[in-house]
């Protein structure tokens, strides 16, 4: 099992002893090479779940096993290493560094992984080639279209060969045509063996995934297999 979450809760303290529970007793297993969409209205706790899955945050109680290692008690440095090695983030607003060109943006995770410059460059080029952006390596994000930016972000997520690709509303900032292209890319990446978790509030996007998880008021309200995922032509 790639990911196993056991009896997990997450509370937010607002001060004055007011505690807001964001996640209540979550149990969840995700296997390698699954393509999962996590859905839910805003305020449902899906972002909180994503933050914990992405090692950006830690649960209040419960356990998070990643490759059978309990990482819920990891310290900040260990979580940083986890994010670096195992999580490939793809954000709604791309989150590229504006002053770096595509190549430098894609190289960045490898910089923090301590990969030597030569190898770094080669791997970043390969990742950019994978998303068909080898010809935009020295472009800065401002010189790229939204779709191209998101593909740079995908390349950055792929470059470390992470355990999961974690996409947060990946098409939220794209028009429908570009969004569809992005979904095609996700489909390909999935069929190449990647594990993909997409957080979205759009049913259409969720339909591309093989499994749909709904979150409501901090609990998983449904967890179903999608028998007919949308295939992009």
Partner 1 sequence: MQFGENITLAVRALADHKMRSFLTMLGIIFGVASVIAMLSIGEGAKREAIAKYQDLGVNNIIVREKSMSDAELEEVRAKFSPGLSLNDADVIKDVVPGVDKVAAQAELSAEVRYTDKTVKSTVIGVTADFLPMMNFKVGKGELITERHYNERLKVCVIGAGVANSLFQSDDPIGQMIKIEDQWLEVVGVLQSKTLFTETVGELAARDMNTDVYIPLTTFLNRFTPENALTSQIQQITVQMDGSGKLLESSKLIEEILKRHHWKQEDYNIVIPFELLKQEEKERQIYNFLLGAIAAISLIVGGIGIMNIMLATVMERTREIGIRRAIGARKADIMSQFVTEAVVISIVGGLIGVLLGVTLSLIVSSFTDVSTYIRLYSIIVAFTFSVIVGISFGWLPAKNAASLKPVDSIRYE
Q: Which is nearer to partner 1, 57 or 217 (CB)?
A: 57
Which is closer to partner 1, CB of 157 or CB of 213?
157
Q: How far is the CB of 106 from partner 1 (least distance, A)?
A: 10
Shorter beta-carbon distance to partner 1: residue 46 or 83: 83
As measured in angstroms, the least distance from the Cβ of 138 to partner 1 is 15
Least distance in angstroms from the C-beta of 72 to partner 1: 16
Least distance to partner 1, CB of residue 150, Å: 14
CB of 11 to partner 1, least distance (A): 14
- 22-26 long-range Cβ contacts below 8 angstroms, 24+ apart: 22/48, 22/218, 23/48, 23/49, 23/52, 23/59, 23/218, 23/219, 24/217, 24/218, 24/219, 25/62, 25/219, 26/62, 26/218, 26/219, 26/220
* Residue 156: CB minimum distance to partner 1, A: 7
Closer CB to partner 1, residue 89 or residue 186?
89
Interacting residues toward partner 1 by CB under 8 A: 51, 54, 56-57, 76-77, 80-81, 83-85, 89, 91, 95-97, 99, 108-109, 111-114, 156, 160
Q: State the minimum distance, in angstroms, from the CB of residue 230 to partner 1.
A: 29
Q: Which is nearer to partner 1, 51 or 195 (CB)?
A: 51
How do 211-216 and 219-225 pair as beta strands? antiparallel
Nearer to partner 1, 153 or 205 (CB): 153
Give 82 or 212: the residue with its C-beta nearer to partner 1. Answer: 82
């Amino acid at each position: 099992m790639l990911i196993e979450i056991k009896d997990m809760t997450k509370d937010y303290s607002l001060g004055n002893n007011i505690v807001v529970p964001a996640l209540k007793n979550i149990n969840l297993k995700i296997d390698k090479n699954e393509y999962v969409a996590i859905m839910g209205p805003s305020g449902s706790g899906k972002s909180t779940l994503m933050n914990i899955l992405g090692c950006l945050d830690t649960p209040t109680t419960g356990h998070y096993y990643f490759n059978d290692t309990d990482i819920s008690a990891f310290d900040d440095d260990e979580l940083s290493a986890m994010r670096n090695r195992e999580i490939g983030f793809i954000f709604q607003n791309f989150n590229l560094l504006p002053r770096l060109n595509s190549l430098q943006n894609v190289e960045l995770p490898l910089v923090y992984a301590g990969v030597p410059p030569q190898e770094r460059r080669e791997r970043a080029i390969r990742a950019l080639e994978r998303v068909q952006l080898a010809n935009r390596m020295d472009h800065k994000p401002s010189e790229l279209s939204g779709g191209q930016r998101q593909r740079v972000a995908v390349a950055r997520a792929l470059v470390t060969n992470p355990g999961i690709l974690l996409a947060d509303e990946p098409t939220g900032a794209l028009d429908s045509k570009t969004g569809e292209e992005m979904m095609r890319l996700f489909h390909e990446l999935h069929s190449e063996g990647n594990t993909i978790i997409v957080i979205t509030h759009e049913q259409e996007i969720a339909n591309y995934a093989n499994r749909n998880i709904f979150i409501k008021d901090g609990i998983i309200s449904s967890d179903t297999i999608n028998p007919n995922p949308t295939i992009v032509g």
